[in-house]
Amino acid sequence: MSSGTFVDRIDPFAKRSLKKKSKKSQGSSRYRNSQDVELQQLPQLKVDCSSMEQEELFIRKLRQCCVSFDFMDPVADLKGKEIKRAALNDLSTYIIHGRGVLTEAVYPEIIRMISCNLFRTLPPSENPDFDPEEDDPTLEASWPHLQLVYEVFLRFLESQDFQATIGKKVIDQKFVLQLLELFDSEDPRERDFLKTVLHRIYGKFLGLRAFIRKQINNIFLRFIYETEHFNGVGELLEILGSIINGFALPLKAEHKQFLVKVLLPLHKVKCLSLYHAQLAYCVVQFLEKDASLTEPVVRGLLKFWPKTCSQKEVMFLGEIEEILDVIEPPQFVKIQEPLFRQIAKCVSSPHFQVAERALYFWNNEYAMSLIEENNAVIMPIMFPALYRISKEHWNQTIVALVYNVLKTFMEMNSKLFDELTASYKAERQKEKKREREREELWKKLHELENNRSSSKTSLKSDANSELLTQQTNNMTGNLSNATNSTLMSSLSGNAPSGGVTDKVSATSGGSSVSSATNSLASAASK
């Protein structure tokens, strides 16, 4: 058992170092187990040679590039690595400048070479506490060759000779699925190439479009509700942004469902900051396509509004402003009340960045025009929070911004502003009165409690006295009974007649009573 595992078992919350980890190179297990294959230098491809010879040489070079090398050892097989690098560069140049070089026989060879190099099992993160916002990514060790393979792939897809009818035989759903899995790579350079490649495939293969959208949908749902970890969410959203931009009108039901069931729940993941810009762009694209989606989108954002994360709250406010830039007045009327109730809460936030971002809405000209048209609804919602902040907020910058907003409201509708001011002051007086009444009530309750406690003490004392009296009476009664019993017992004896005898008996009877009394008293004291 490692020391780290031992510590985790003893204390799962053991402190860990906050030091950032430096960039490291990683490679998949396949590269570590590469076969020892010696490559031979092949002639350079030339455009002006006969097509049959060049096609044969082209295929030989493609097969040569299927060999993988171990980049975890930087000095291993340097000659073979250099030969492959030169061959990949030659292939890329040949595809760009050659004409008629992409024959039908070449297609499966190119896809085979690409599959051998790209499709691999991605290793798990070497840092279990990896934070994409704080830590540097782990880079792919084999990138010197991978980059050239991606370039060959792009030249292939972008070539004027590329024919989708032939390409669809080798670029199928299985190929696309493996390509999408690579978006989880930690290396941002690879994800950037994948983004471009997938976009080209989506544009050229109409039959794969629905499948690509469905698989992206599945990746997002798994990310939201299961793993909360996928490195390529931002890149996939960037692709979706351009896809959404090309949707035909009216929007299909499946596209609307994707917006409500997938894009909106993406806002609740805690690593939102990694892809929020791309996500907001996708949402705004939908609203520009169909304005009727504004209400469900805004209500969905309010549903997922962060309660404890100020950074996410600032991002939500930024997205709301982007939505306000494209919103139509009839749609604004539908969402103005719940929206500005939330904005009033944000303005009242003790976190000055949240309050500041909310107050910046009044610097947006289009938003101001919408607010002015609906000031009779918005001013009563916002005024109490603004007036209270102007008197109580700790940050002077926020206070200054609030004064500007109040001044704007006064210029919009001075009559309503005066009414709201008077109403607010009257309400404050009522609140103060209620507070005083509450304090007096509590004071009375405390007094009653104190009186009750003292009453309990006196009642307890009286009860003790009564109990003591009763015990004394009982003891006296017992003593009296015992005395009478002894006396009767003495008097019932055989006494001789005569006065002297009676006196002696009486005297002896008195002694008996006295001794009985003393014995009872002694017993009582015990």
Percent of the chain with pLDDT over 70: 78
User: Which spans in 205-328 are helix H?
Assistant: 209-222, 233-245, 253-258, 276-289, 294-303, 310-326
3-state secondary structure of 121: coil
What average pLDDT does the structure give for the chain? Answer: 83
Q: What is the C-alpha to C-alpha distance for residues 217 and 281, in angstroms, rounded to an integer?
A: 17
3-state secondary structure of 526: coil
* pLDDT at residue 69 in the model: 87
Overall average pLDDT of the 479-497 stretch: 51
Confidence of residue 456 (pLDDT cuts 50, 70, 90): confident
pLDDT digits (tens, 9 = 90+) for 259-287: 999 999 999 998 999 999 999 999 999 99
What is 385-415 written as a DSSP string?
Answer: HHHHHHHH-S-HHHHHHHHHHHHHHHHH-HH
Task: Please provide residue 305's backbone torsions phi and psi, each rounded to the nearest 5 degrees.
Answer: -60, 130
Domain spans of the chain, in order of start: 24-123+139-170, 172-246
* pLDDT at residue 75 in the model: 74
* pLDDT at residue 502 in the model: 43
Please give the residue that has the higher pLDDT: either 52 or 22: 52
Percent of the chain with pLDDT over 90: 57
List the single range of 22-36, 106-120, 175-189 with lowest mean pLDDT: 22-36
* pLDDT at residue 343 in the model: 96
List the single range of 299-313, 434-448, 452-466 with lowest mean pLDDT: 452-466
pLDDT digits (tens, 9 = 90+) for 135-153: 778 888 889 999 999 999 9
Contact 240, 266 (CB under 8 A): no
pLDDT digits (tens, 9 = 90+) for 84-102: 999 999 999 999 988 888 9
pTM for the structure as a whole: 0.76
Confidence of residue 461 (pLDDT cuts 50, 70, 90): low
